[in-house]
């Protein structure tokens, strides 16, 4: 009944034997022990489990592990390199784009694809673009700022101020 699959995660090839019903998120979290990808719901609404599969942001609770056979996966653990943080990570840190950190990995993975599709999004495009990811802590203002910051960094532009406008 179990099936052997091979996936490339964050550049490394992994072979695993899974039940056909095993969810991709469980493969990632429990078989491969990459626990940065989180689970926040059971109806594909919250987006805490968002990862990139062949460059597309996917809610990994809604995909079977066997469907990922042969695919290239990037999780939050694959964002930073030896050179340093990914611009989206820097954006979240510099702009206070996270509180409890639970939605953050999924939110960042979604933002990576958003910026790949639309390198200079408007605030409204960002808000709609992350509307499949729920955050309960931040009220989203600073997540929007974090994504704008990452966009500017990736475009090589002057970085927006990270001082809070709290006067």
Partner 1 sequence: MIQCKTSKEIGGMGHSIKRKEDARFIQGKGHYVDDIQLPGMLHMDIVRSPYAYAKIKSINAEAALKIPGVIAVVTGKDLEKYNLHWMPTLMSDTQMVLPTDTVMYQAQEVAAVIATDRYAARDGKEAVMVEYEPMKPVIDPHKSLDPNAPVLRTDKPGKTDNHIWHWEVGDKEATEKVFAGADVVVKEQMHIPRIHVASIETCGCVADYDKVNNHLTMYMTTQAPHAIRTVIALVAGHVGLTEEKVRVISPDIGGGFGGKVPVYPGYVIAIAVSFLVGKPVKWVEDRSENLQADSFARDYHITAEMAGTKDGKILATRFKVLADHGYTDASANPSKFPTGLFSIGTGSYDYGTAFMEADAVYTNKPPGGVAYRCSFRVTEAVHAIERMTDRFAFEVGKDPAQLRMENFIKKDQFPWKSPTGWEYDSGDYHAGLQKAMDAIDYDGLRKEQAEKRKRGELMGIGISTFTEIVGAGPSKDFDILGIKMFDSAEIRVHPTGKAIARFGTKSQGQGHETTYAQIIAEELGIPAEHIQIEEGDTDTAPYGLGTYASRSTPTAGAAAAVAARKLRDKARKIAAYLLEVSEEDLEWEPGKFSVKGAPEKSKTIQEIVFAAYTNHPQGMEAGFEATHYYDPPNLTFPSGAYICVVDLDKETGEIKVRRFVAIDDCGHIINPMIVQGQVHGGLTQGLAPAMYESLIYDEDGNILNGTFMDYLVPTAVESPSWETGHTVTPSPHHPIGAKGVGESPTVGAPPAIVNAIVDALSHLGVTHIDIPVTPFKVWKILKEKGVA
Interface residue list for partner 1 (CB under 8 A): 19, 21-22, 26, 29-30, 33-43, 45-46, 48, 75-77, 79-80, 85, 89, 92-94, 96, 98-105, 108, 123, 126-128, 130-144, 163-167
38 vs 71 by CB, closer to partner 1: 38
As measured in angstroms, the least distance from the Cβ of 24 to partner 1 is: 14
46 vs 70 by CB, closer to partner 1: 46
7 vs 103 by CB, closer to partner 1: 103
Residue 114 burial (CB < 10 Å; 0-12/13-18/19+)? buried
As measured in angstroms, the least distance from the Cβ of 44 to partner 1 is: 8
Residues in the chain: 167
Residues ≥6 apart with Cβ < 8 Å to 90: 84, 149, 150, 153
CA dihedral 56, 61, 62, 68 (to 10 degrees): 60
């Amino acid at each position: 009944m179990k099936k052997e699959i091979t996936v490339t995660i964050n550049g490394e090839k992994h072979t695993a034997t899974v039940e056909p019903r095993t969810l991709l998120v469980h493969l990632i979290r429990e078989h491969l022990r990459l626990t940065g990808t989180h689970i926040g719901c059971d109806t594909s609404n919250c987006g805490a489990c968002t990862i990139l599969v062949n460059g597309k942001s996917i809610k990994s609770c809604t995909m079977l592990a066997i469907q990922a056979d042969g695919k290239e996966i990037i999780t939050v653990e694959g964002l930073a390199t030896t050179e340093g943080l990914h611009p989206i990570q820097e954006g979240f840190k510099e702009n206070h784009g996270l509180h409890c950190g639970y939605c953050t990995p999924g939110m960042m993975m979604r933002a990576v694809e958003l910026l790949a599709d639309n390198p200079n999004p408007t605030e409204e495009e960002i808000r709609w673009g992350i509307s499949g990811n729920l955050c309960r802590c931040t009220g989203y203002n600073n997540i929007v700022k974090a994504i704008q910051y990452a966009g500017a960094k990736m475009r090589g532009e002057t970085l927006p101020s990270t001082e809070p406008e709290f006067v």
